[in-house]
Structure 1
Amino acid sequence: MACKEEVGQFLRDELKLELSEAKTLITHGRTQAARFLGYEIVVLDNDSKHDRRGRRSINGQIGLKVPADVVHAKCRPYLHHGRPARIAGRMVDSDFSIIAQYQAEFRGITEYYQLAFNRHRFRRLKYAMEMSLTKTLAQKHRTTVPKVYRRYRAVLQTDLGPRKGLRVTVERGDGRPPLVSEWGGISLKRRAKVTRLDDQPRRVWNGDRTELLQRLLADVCELCGSRTDVEVHHIRHLKDLNVKGRPKRSTWARTMAARRRKTLVVCRRCHEDIHAGRPTGNSSRRTALESRVR
């Protein structure tokens, strides 16, 4: 035991190792919460919680919580002096893109904390984001928030039944289905089974570059020209397109870097090729593959 302490002291003195307090802190689970990957981990204790047989059902079990400071931090970008406020940088976009971005951001944050039993804390975030959204639309159209609600109010069909929300529908004509962007309909109930966790959702909005809605309405793959199953490929940062040590950038990466935008409208086959690392944009190969399918 003494030998281990001497070795540890030697390493600290000679190598000047600095340990992260957040990662090395020892916490007593029954008296305080431990932090891990953004969650608070606690040991549940409630003598009044019983199962069907009248037995205490949760004592001693591990529970995951949404930390209060996380809720405050997620609300901060949508507040000004503590109150929900419009975001001026988003007013240059279409109503479709504005609602789509708010929805994507809220979904990404809440889905990361699906395992938390107090996920309902994000009701505060939902209120802040919804008020910021409606104020942004109101400022853009020089109108009031109540008029925004009357204009875009809709009943959204969800797995848990109908829910009130906002919806923007863009008709495309020629028998094609319309583009629909919605706000709301995301449940804040805890989910025991989760397949993916990501609290930094990819944006569906593209700043002052080419408007996403315009490119979706074009309904043409920007790599091969196909009009079949058009989707949108996203990246988080433009700097991800310039990775040191990469011998040669692919066609899609060069296209996004040249246009300096984080979204690219592509067909489903090109989208699959991008994620699989295969060459993209070969129109002759795409035509041959489509003819085989037919």
Structure 2
Amino acid sequence: MGKDKRGNRKRSVNGQIQLLVPHKVISQKIREFTQYSESCVFKPRLKLPVLDIINEYNAEIRGLYNYYCLATNVSQRLYKFKYYHYFSMVHTIARKENISVKKVIKKYGIDVPVKDGTGTRRIVGVKYHTKKGEKTMTYFNDRIVKKDFPETNVYDSFGYDISFNSQLITRLNANKCELCGSTENIEVHHVRKLKDIKDKYKKRGRHIPNWVLTMSKMNRKTLIVCKNCHWDIHGGK
């Protein structure tokens, strides 16, 4: 048993190297959502709108899947994580709106096609409006399977294309928050139009946050941030 350059475990089977998702990684990720209560309510997100709560959860599981998509046991490990992750999201929404989980399913449940077969299943999601009409966003519903090649383009939960060009890859590989310098739990924050974000604060006469100033200075629609800074951004700080 050895490790790759990311520190992930790898195993040789019949002379071929297999990448594995470490059990410890999934256990630590699950603990992030169970540390506040037995029902997995994630308190840092209680003040967010429901749409943003779902978006945050989607960004997490997509990021985790994109990182480990080449691992042989990615399906086994991530489906376990997904169970607790979805459980946490639903209970967080229930706590936010002070209703039961059953009522959350009734209020926000959306029927979506079953990825592995025929028929539909109900998943918590929301409908929202854009200039192009009504859109629907549910909790992550993609199949979790091992891939032979990593993704070269990633779409965030709202469907915006985050192109992994060479510069963005270089910034990601630096593994450093571009706001506070942290090297822990690095994520990507993405905005559709940088100008719209700047105008929003100018028109309202509000203080322009540091993350907006940083994006403006870099003239980039993406920002490499740690999880804490990402929470602050979505919390309006």
Task: Place the TM-score, normalised by the shorter chain, in its bin.
Answer: 0.5 to 0.7
Report what 2:64 is aligned to: 109
Paired AA for residue 221 in structure 1: D
Q: Does 1:80 align with 2:35?
A: yes
Matches within 5 A, 1:59-208: 59-80=14-35, 83-120=38-75, 121-157=77-113, 164-171=122-129, 176-196=132-152, 200-203=186-189
Q: Give secondary structure in 1 for the equivalent of 2:196.
A: coil
Task: Tell me the CA shift for residue 76 of structure 1.
Answer: 1.8
In the alignment, the residues of structure 1 paired with residue 189 and residue 56 of structure 2 have an alpha-carbon distance, to the nearest angstrom, of 6
For the Cα contact (< 8 Å) 2:74–2:144, is it kept in 1? Answer: yes
SS in 1 for 2:104: helix
Tell me, yes or no, if structure 1 residue 42 matches structure 2 residue 28. Answer: no
Distance 2:79 2:141 in 1: 12
- Is 2:41–2:92's contact at 8 Å kept on the other side of the alignment? yes
Residue matched to 1:221: 196
The answer to whether the 8 Å contact 1:170/1:179 transfers is: yes
How many residue pairs get aligned? The number is 180
Tell me how far 1:190 sits from its aligned partner. 0.2
Deviation at 1:160, TM superposition (A): 5.7
Task: Please tell me the residue identity of whatever aligns with 2:67.
Answer: Y
Letter in 1 for 2:146: R
Q: Which amino acid aligns with 1:143?
A: I
Q: Secondary structure at the match of 1:86?
A: coil
In 2, the alpha carbon distance for the partners of 1:73 and 1:113 equals 15
CA shift for structure 1 position 37 = 0.5
**What's the Cα RMSD here?**
3.7
Alignment of 1:242-253 (within 5 A): 249=217
Q: Which runs of 5+ in 2 are unaligned?
A: 153-168, 173-184, 201-209, 222-231
Distance in 2 separating the partners of 1:203 and 1:77? 20
TM-aligned CA deviation for residue 115 of structure 1: 0.3
Structure 1 gap segments, 5+ residues each: 1-31, 45-58, 205-211, 226-236, 243-247, 254-260, 264-294
Q: How does 1:18-33 map to 2 (within 5 A)?
A: 32-33=1-2
Partner of 2:157: none
CA distance in 2, matches of 1:186, 1:80: 27
Distance across 1 between alignment mates of 2:135 and 2:85: 22
Q: Distance in 1 between matches of 2:7 and 2:111?
A: 33
TM-score (norm 1): 0.51
Q: Which structure has more strand as a fraction of its residues? A: 2
Q: CA deviation at 1:40?
A: 1.0
Greater radius of gyration (CA): 1
SS for the counterpart of 2:57 is helix
1:240 Cα deviation (Å)?
9.2
- Cα distance in 1 between the residues matched to 2:55 and 2:36: 26
* 8 A Cα contact 2:69 2:146, kept in partner: yes
- Shift of residue 158, structure 1, vs aligned partner: 7.8
Alignment partners' CA distance in 1, 2:16 and 2:26: 24
Are the equivalent residues in 2 in contact too, given 1:91–1:140 (CA < 8 A)? yes
Aligned amino acid, residue 42 of structure 1: R
- Give the CA deviation at 1:110: 1.2
Instruction: Measure, in 1, the Cα distance between the counterparts of 2:149 and 2:141.
Output: 19
| 2:214 corresponds to | 241
Calculate percent identity across the aligned residue pairs.
21
